[in-house]
Amino acid sequence: MTVKACAEELRARFPALFGGEPKPLKLRIQVDINERAPGVFPKPVLSAFFRRYTLSDAYLKAVSTGTQRFDLDGQPAGELSEEHRRIALETLLQRREQRRGPLHPPREGQAAPVAQAADPQAQARRKAQRQAQREQARAKHREAQRAERQFRAGLLRAFETTTLTRENFCALKGIAPDALDGLLETARAERAQRQAFLAELSKAYRDSGLSINEFAASKNMPPGQMHHLLREAQGGGADDRRPPPRGDRPPRGGDRPPRREGPDRPRGPRR
């Protein structure tokens, strides 16, 4: 099956979602497709179709202006996060700027700016601009991934402590019930990976014999961030935001003996 044939088959089977203008897709929509049409769509072809579909200008425009995601039947299946809308809009704006180009097109009857295009400094500036745009796009992608991981982690913590029914919990969180298990499974795997990372980091810190500041420098990490990671590894939690000790010194007064109170406190001679 080619990607084009995959698109045609999806439109034929699920016209409510793929038959008209692009709609923001429900999360993990591929799982629903495989359940409704088992063995029809090869996984690599389906993945290639969705990469092309979700990166199209029409789809990004639908995400940037939408508020809901939709399932295979064209029914609402969860709210669009503000983060996803912002990323889609910024991607569209970046594409628009790239299509315009760094140089203004010549007017009718005007010679093209050959000298400017051949200028090494202008070429270097354009190259630096493209590199900065790529770095910005990668940073936004990482931020979106981090936001999704935080959402899944919070969802797992809430699910493990909730007293609501499964249906009421999903309604409260704005997710489809059949998507909950996949999100929780991913969150558990991510939590296990982070626990393993923190355990390895904590062991390396204990074995190093270095101060927190020195160990952070050896890992190219700010001391404050290292302090929070080590506190989390010791069970302090990822949300613990107490400031680290300055310079790894003990707190003021830490070497002073405790002040004695009460009748046993020695008194000086009266004058």
Tens of pLDDT, residues 88-130: 888 888 888 877 765 445 555 554 444 444 567 777 888 888 8
Question: What domain range includes position 7?
Answer: 1-100
Q: Report yes or no on 21 lying in a domain.
A: yes
Q: How far apart are CA 111 and CA 101, in angstroms?
A: 17
Q: Report yes or no on 39 lying in a domain.
A: yes
If we measure between CA atoms, which residue out of 55, 84, 53 comes closest to residue 67? 84
Structure tokens at 190: 């991510």
What is residue 270's predicted lDDT score, i.e. its pLDDT?
A: 54
Q: Report yes or no on 32 lying in a domain.
A: yes
Q: Residue 88's domain is classified under what CATH number? A: 1.10.1710.10
Q: Report yes or no on 157 lying in a domain.
A: no
Q: Report yes or no on 131 lying in a domain.
A: no
DSSP 19: S
Structure pTM?
A: 0.41
What is residue 107's predicted lDDT score, i.e. its pLDDT?
A: 54
CB of 30 closer than 8 Å to CB of 179: no
What are the DSSP calls for 154-198, one per residue?
HHHHHHHH--S-HHHHHHHHT--HHHHHHHHHHHHHHHHHHHHHH
Number of domains in the chain: 1
What is residue 220's predicted lDDT score, i.e. its pLDDT?
A: 87
pLDDT band, very low/low/confident/very high, at 66 (cuts 50, 70, 90): confident
Other CB atoms within a 10 A radius of the CB of residue 168 amount to 11
What percent of the chain has a predicted confidence (pLDDT) above 90? 3
- Look at 56 and 122; give whichever has higher pLDDT: 56
DSSP 248: G
Residue with tokens 């990166």: 55
Residue with tokens 């939690």: 237
- Look at 268 and 13; give whichever has higher pLDDT: 13
CA distances from 108 to 18, 103, 105, 112, 116 (A): 43, 15, 9, 10, 18
If we measure between CA atoms, which residue out of 33, 27, 36, 32 comes closest to residue 54? 27
Other CB atoms within a 10 A radius of the CB of residue 32 amount to 21
Using CA atoms in the order 114, 118, 121, 126, what is the torsion angle rounded to 10 degrees?
Answer: 80
- Look at 109 and 181; give whichever has higher pLDDT: 181
Mean per-residue pLDDT for 163-192?
85
Q: Which helix (H) or strand (E) holds 39?
A: none
**115 by DSSP, 3-state: which?**
helix
Q: How far apart are CA 153 and CA 77, in angstroms?
A: 20
Mean per-residue pLDDT for 208-214?
89
If we measure between CA atoms, which residue out of 223, 142, 156, 147 comes closest to residue 195? 156
Q: Report yes or no on 53 lying in a domain.
A: yes
Q: Report yes or no on 118 lying in a domain.
A: no
| pLDDT exceeds cutoff 50 at 251 | no
- Look at 1 and 254; give whichever has higher pLDDT: 1
Residue type, 108: E
pLDDT band, very low/low/confident/very high, at 135 (cuts 50, 70, 90): confident
| pLDDT exceeds cutoff 70 at 179 | yes
| pLDDT exceeds cutoff 50 at 257 | no
What is residue 44's predicted lDDT score, i.e. its pLDDT?
A: 86
What is residue 108's predicted lDDT score, i.e. its pLDDT?
A: 53
| pLDDT exceeds cutoff 60 at 240 | no
pLDDT band, very low/low/confident/very high, at 266 (cuts 50, 70, 90): low
**Average pLDDT of the chain to the nearest whole number:** 79
Beta bridge partners of 68: 79
Mean per-residue pLDDT for 138-149?
82
**Count of positions (residues) in the chain:** 271
Q: Report yes or no on 201 lying in a domain.
A: no
Q: How far apart are CA 57 and CA 92, in angstroms?
A: 7
| pLDDT exceeds cutoff 50 at 171 | yes
